[in-house]
Structure 1
Amino acid sequence: MTKTLLVDYIAEETGLTKADSARALEAMMNGIVKGLKEDGKVTLTGFCTFTAVKKAAKTGRNPRTGEAVQIPARVAATIKAGSKLKEALN
């Protein structure tokens, strides 16, 4: 499902306009990013948990040349499904 289809779904389910649905979705995504930056974790109980994970710098290889390249340290996001989401999918 794309962001556009999700906005359409939210509008259909809530009776909001597509513009309001898009703003609500954008606010939610921004809130998740803010929570990850500030607290390192965002939990939507029963649905999922987003966690910011620090990845160490490492040496990789350029697949075309085989040359070693340094990959800098970074922060990545992980998502773990909650119990209600797992139930809904199975």
Structure 2
Amino acid sequence: MTREPKRRDADSGLSKADAKRALDAFVTVTANALVIGDTVTLGEFGTFSISKRSARTGRNPQTGKEIKIAGKNEVKFKAGAELSKSVN
């Protein structure tokens, strides 16, 4: 038995403007928490965290010349069990 996906435009009870404000607030709060080194867990949805990537040497594909690539912080997301379950 195949499960029908929910419509993307299902009514959440929010106007587009309210949904945008809510998403903007979530992104701001999450980014601020990650900058200070916290992880952000949203119940069954998943967890956002920071992973440090070391500096490394790369190669320019056009010239073959070695280049230095600076280290950086990357945002990682690990889906929660419920989210993973709902898409499989």
Measured against the shorter chain, the TM-score band is 0.7 to 0.9
- Which whole-Å CA distance do the structure 1 matches of 2:63 and 2:56 have between them? 18
- Give the structure with the larger helix fraction: 1
TM-score (norm 1): 0.80
TM-score (norm 2): 0.82
Say what the alpha-carbon RMSD is for the aligned residues.
1.7
Partner of 1:19: 17
**1:25-46 CA deviation, whole Å, 9 max, x = no partner?**
1101111111111233111121
Structure 1, gaps ≥5 residues long: 1-7
Larger Rg: 2
What is the aligned length? Answer: 81
Q: Sort the Cα spacing of 1:23 and 1:9 in 2 relative to 1 into closer, same or farther, 3 A.
A: farther
Structure 2, gaps ≥5 residues long: 1-7
Runs of 4+ aligned residues of structure 1 deviating over 2 Å after TM superposition are none
Percent of aligned pairs sharing the same letter: 37
